[in-house]
């Protein structure tokens, strides 16, 4: 039996709107930039320099996963 496949659009996903939202989010994130932020959007996680806290080069790496991944 052949399965019928759906496109993203048929499933209710609008790629252009999603891309537009990502650009808006990037602008909001950029407005919170500080010297301690070591990497921009696009890496697997955010890199934040903690300063000298009894370690040689402490860096906090944080990440969050999108819904459905």
User: Could you report the per-residue pLDDT of 16-42, keeping only the tens digit for each?
Assistant: 998 999 899 888 988 888 888 887 777
Best CA proximity match to 62, nearest among 39, 43, 45:
45
pLDDT of residue 16: 93
Q: Could you tell me the two tokens for 20? A: 């537009």
Q: For the chain, what is the domain count?
A: 1
Would 35 be classed as within a structural domain?
yes
Q: Tally helices (H) and strands (E) across the chain.
A: 1, 2
Full residue range of the structural domain in which residue 57 is found: 15-62
Q: Give the number of other Cβ atoms within 10 Å of residue 67's Cβ.
A: 4
pLDDT category at 47 given cuts 50, 70, 90 is: confident
Would 68 be classed as within a structural domain?
no
Angle at 10 between CA 7 and CA 12, to 5 degrees: 115
Cα 27 to Cα 32: distance, rounded to the nearest angstrom: 9
Would 29 be classed as within a structural domain?
yes
């Amino acid at each position: 039996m052949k399965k019928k496949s759906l496109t993203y659009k048929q499933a209710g996903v609008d790629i252009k709107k999603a891309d537009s939202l990502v650009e808006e989010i990037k602008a909001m994130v950029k407005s919170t930039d500080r010297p301690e932020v070591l990497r921009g959007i696009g890496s697997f996680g955010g890199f934040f320099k903690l300063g000298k806290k009894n370690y040689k080069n402490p860096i906090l790496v944080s990440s969050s996963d999108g819904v459905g991944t």
